[in-house]
Structure 1
Amino acid sequence: MTLVSELPGRFCSIAAALEVVGDRWSLLAVREVSFGHHRFGEILEGTGAPRDRLSARLKALVEAEVLERRQYSEAPPRFDYHLTPAGKDLLPVLRSLMAWGDRWAVETPPVTLLHHDHELAPTTVCGTCGEKVHGADVHRRSNTPTA
């Protein structure tokens, strides 16, 4: 896993997160695993990724502890992929990215997959107080101690 201190430029958790999942095939692989497609062939079919790139991304996601490999056959040895707690924490990000893409990146959303008795509209809610969070409510605070 890349440490934030190794990244050039300003200290930023977004930059650190992008080092782990910031390419197309990584997030699409996480999407496929979240849909229940655990085997390499299923993930390959769902993403459309080149085989070698998907293999490299899955290996990197396992090393970053976003996915875990589980053996499902001993002879021959075969493995499938499952979300770790870190991978499950990416699911709201994927839902938000999908909503953004539906609104801004395509003319007609290709598929509506997210339902909760109605179409799900992702939003940010404070985990402490439960209030809806708006952009103007969020301010940057440095964790760097001042002298």
Structure 2
Amino acid sequence: MLTVNDKARWLAYDDGMKWLEISTENCTVQRTLDLIGEKWTLLILRDAFNGVRRFDDFRRHVGLSEAVLAGRLRKLVEAQILTTVPYQEQGSRTRHEYRLTRKGRDLWPVLVALRQWGEAYVGDPEGPVLDIQHSDCGAPVRVVVECSDEHAALSPTEVTVLPGPAARPRS
């Protein structure tokens, strides 16, 4: 845990200076992007959140080749973001559907935040493709960063970023 003096020393550096001294080898943003940061993977997750479960439906809707789709789905299953569930249509062999796991469902705010940013800056002038609303009241859903004590929305200028317990110096 950082003391007040540690915090003061951290903040005394010019903007970004101290950050540049920290190794990013174990950065969780980097690790997350290694799993889901590729465009096709995010589009697969978008479709999974919207009820797509079957390989052929992903292929048709996302527009991927079978090989690329199979690789992305395999990676998501290995990371336990998706799981496979067997199904069989009458007269056909057993196949597998892809379902979001709890770990996968925890990515929902990330997809909503990407959509929210997209609607604000690169959206269609006619409006959103999907309108996400609170089921109880019909109000639009949005992602905010908030203080866990005050439950108030925050901007980047209202937070202090400090090195965490896993911070290591750059080698």
- TM-score of the superposed pair, with normalisation by structure 1: 0.81
Q: Secondary structure at the match of 1:143?
A: coil
- Which stretches in structure 1 are left out of the alignment for 5+ residues? 1-7
Secondary structure of 1:61 counterpart: helix
Q: 1:43 aligns with which of 58, 71, 76?
A: 58
Displacement of 1:127: 5.0
Q: Note closer, same or farther for the CA distance 1:102–1:73 as it changes in structure 2 (3 Å cut).
A: same
1:116-145 deviations in Å (ceiling 9; x for gaps) = 213222212345653323322241322137
CA distance in 2 between partners of 1:104 and 1:50 (Å): 29
The number of equivalent residue pairs is: 139
CA distance in 2, matches of 1:145, 1:32: 35
Alignment partners' CA distance in 2, 1:115 and 1:138? 32
Residues 86-116 of structure 1, C-alpha deviations (whole Å, 9 max, x = no match): 1001100000001111122345345133112
Is 1:111 the equivalent of 2:129? yes
Segment of structure 1 superposing worse, 40-49 or 20-29: 40-49
The alignment status of 1:131 with 2:152, answered yes or no, reads: yes
What letter matches 2:142 in structure 1? A
Q: Match of 1:113, SS? A: coil
AA in 2 matched with 1:113: D
Larger radius of gyration: 2
| SS class of match (2:85) | strand
Q: What amino acid is aligned across from residue 140 of structure 2 in structure 1?
A: E
Q: Secondary structure at the match of 1:29?
A: helix
Root mean square deviation, CA, Å: 2.4
Q: Does the alignment pair 1:142 with 2:164?
A: yes
* TM-score w.r.t. length of structure 2: 0.71
Q: 2:110 aligned to 93, 112, 118, which one?
A: 93
1:4 is aligned to none
Taking structure 1 as reference, are residues 113 and 49 closer, same or farther at Cα in structure 2, changes over 3 Å only?
farther
